[in-house]
Structure 1
Amino acid sequence: MRNSNVLKNIDLFLLDLDGTVYLGERVFEGAREFIKLLKENQKEFLFLTNNSSKNSEEYYLKLLNMGFEITRQNVFTSGQAMGIYINTIHKKEKPPRVYVVGTSSLKRELKSMGIFVVDSPNYNIDYLIVGFDTTLTYKKLLDACELIRRGVPFLATNPDLVCPLDGGRYIPDCGSICYLLEIATKKKPVFVGKPSSIMVDIISNLKKVDRKRIAMIGDRLYTDIKMAKDSGMVAILVLSGETKMEDVEASSLKPDLIYSSIMDLYYDMKLSFGG
């Protein structure tokens, strides 16, 4: 089947941000045009990021300032997914009480969803949440180890090992922080963000779209592409971020479609709509 036919049959497009739509403050060519094309053809889309260091409002404003014509409902973060997941599994009458190894933005996101965030382990805490913490301190790591030792459920926003920066640089992401804690405590977290089926279930229910009619566009094999392949979605890889073609050749994870950038995807999308 031609690429254009595959794309035309998609009802919901999920777009990763870092490495897919932009790097730092640099928007990739074709990204704004791609979103405009989706809107013109009544296709739903979500900017879906594992990066929990910022909340959904911050991402919305950033994308708006970058020239994307979107609403707040077009943005969904692993922080929001975490909030929905906790509120789903929490069975106590009182609001869930959590300790967060994460940024103030992640804490605000969770608070906005009715979750009680505390800054000390000296409480009866329901869940430990670890995110991509650009304000990480050793004290937070000590607190996290203590909570895990006490048997507090260990949850994490995403397994990404690194976050890409402009210029080909990377910094440790949530997955690396969790790996440190896992080695120290012998306990693994439950990841809520990509590639977890938890994230897929939340989005599918939220948007009322069957998984087979959803496409995931991203630059990482072990999160974006794995989630799509495991869930029966269309997996679209762009080579503008972390993954290179040699990585694809060496991996058992094979995307359904591969593009050098979102610009090339945009051209194929235009073709699918007869443009």
Structure 2
Amino acid sequence: MNRIGQKELFLLDMDGTVYLENELIDGAKEFIETLISTGREYVFMTNNSSKSADAYLEKLKKIGLPANEGNIFTSGMAAAIYIKQQKASPKIYLVGTRSLKKELIEQGIEVSEDGSGDIDFVLVGYDTELEYKKLEIACDLLCNGVPFLATNPDVVCPARNKRYLPDCATICYMLEKATGKTPFYIGKPRKEMAMTAIEWKGSSVEKTAIVGDRLYTDIACGKNAGVLSILVLSGESTVDDIEKYGVEPDLICSSVADITPNL
């Protein structure tokens, strides 16, 4: 645990790590306050693309966690960066929320309402506003050869009372089965998600730790990027899942409250 004290930047998952739905996980506020008081940087780096960065900022403040625009990095932001790297003046069809659509448009990406015209990519996110018509349009485009992108490979999103909700990968699974097409996932566990955040904060791999509740996204992202990975057991993954996914975290904690004394 002494390795934690050497880190200057903490990449933090949100869902299942610092809160569940609208409730703070015990010790989360004290953890963030300790990061601030000890002069450390932190980025809330989430695969949940259902909300924009502004919406996450509002939510964090509402539940009592200090944050500003420099503390939020979503898979939607990563998707926007990736799409613009692939295509100048891109036009996409989105299976996603209105918040994600707004964020993409603000990043200079044209979002088609009905899939008409020349579509460069179909992008699927964690769509909590999902309608069957969206799936129908996406299937038509994918069957016509439009590239298939997705914000994150999470199968479920953890909720209160040990419940789970269908996430982005579950939506993608329907489209995969219907079209035979496989998406390219942009968010965690791809190392680019972490490396972009590290560069954004002007830090380095050696000075960074990633904290999350999912082995196959958060911890795998840390492993792929070469940063210290800390699994918290307050969300989805359990110790028994380590063998299942073949991903070994550097450290395991019950929650972020266990990290605080080591800062």
Q: Which TM-score applies when normalising by structure 2?
A: 0.96
Bigger drift between 66-75 and 54-63 goes to 66-75
For 2:83 and 2:73, the matched residues in 1 are separated by 16
**Aligned residues of 2:5 and 2:262 also touching (Cα < 8 A):** no
> Could you say which residue in structure 2 is the equivalent of 1:122?
116
- RMSD of aligned Cα (Å): 1.3
Q: Deviations over 1:64-94 (max 9, x none)?
A: 111112211101111111111111221x3xx
For 1:266 and 1:227, the matched residues in 2 are separated by 22
- What is the deviation of 1:209? 2.3
Work out which of the residue numbers 8, 25, 32 in structure 2 matches 1:35: 32
> Could you say which residue in structure 1 is the equivalent of 2:11?
14
Q: Deviations over 1:189-223 (max 9, x none)?
A: 11111101231332233223222322110000100
> Could you say which residue in structure 1 is the equivalent of 2:191?
197
- What is the deviation of 1:248? 2.6
Determine helix, strand or coil for the equivalent of 2:259. Answer: helix
Counterpart of 1:131, as a letter, is: G
For 1:147 and 1:212, the matched residues in 2 are separated by 43
Instruction: Structure 2: give runs of 5+ residues left out of the alignment.
Output: none
Q: Deviations over 1:91-116 (max 9, x none)?
A: x3xx2111100010110110111111
For 1:184 and 1:251, the matched residues in 2 are separated by 26
For 2:181 and 2:194, the matched residues in 1 are separated by 24
> Could you say which residue in structure 1 is the equivalent of 2:132?
138
- What is the deviation of 1:247? 1.8
> Could you say which residue in structure 1 is the equivalent of 2:239?
245
Aligned length: 263
For 1:108 and 1:130, the matched residues in 2 are separated by 15
- Say if 1:86 and 1:250 are closer, same or farther in 2 by CA, change over 3 A: closer
Determine helix, strand or coil for the equivalent of 2:77. Answer: helix
1:158-173 superposed matches below 5 A: 158-173=152-167
For 1:42 and 1:101, the matched residues in 2 are separated by 40
For 2:192 and 2:186, the matched residues in 1 are separated by 6
For 2:211 and 2:196, the matched residues in 1 are separated by 18
Residue 232 (structure 1) aligned with residue 226 (structure 2): yes
> Could you say which residue in structure 2 is the equivalent of 1:273?
none
Instruction: Structure 1: give runs of 5+ residues left out of the alignment.
Output: 270-275
Determine helix, strand or coil for the equivalent of 2:229. Answer: strand
1:1-275 superposed matches below 5 A: 3-4=1-2, 6-90=3-87, 92=88, 95-269=89-263
Q: Identity over aligned residues, as a percent?
A: 47
Counterpart of 2:50, as a letter, is: S
Determine helix, strand or coil for the equivalent of 2:73. Answer: strand
- What is the deviation of 1:250? 4.4
**Aligned residues of 2:209 and 2:229 also touching (Cα < 8 A):** yes
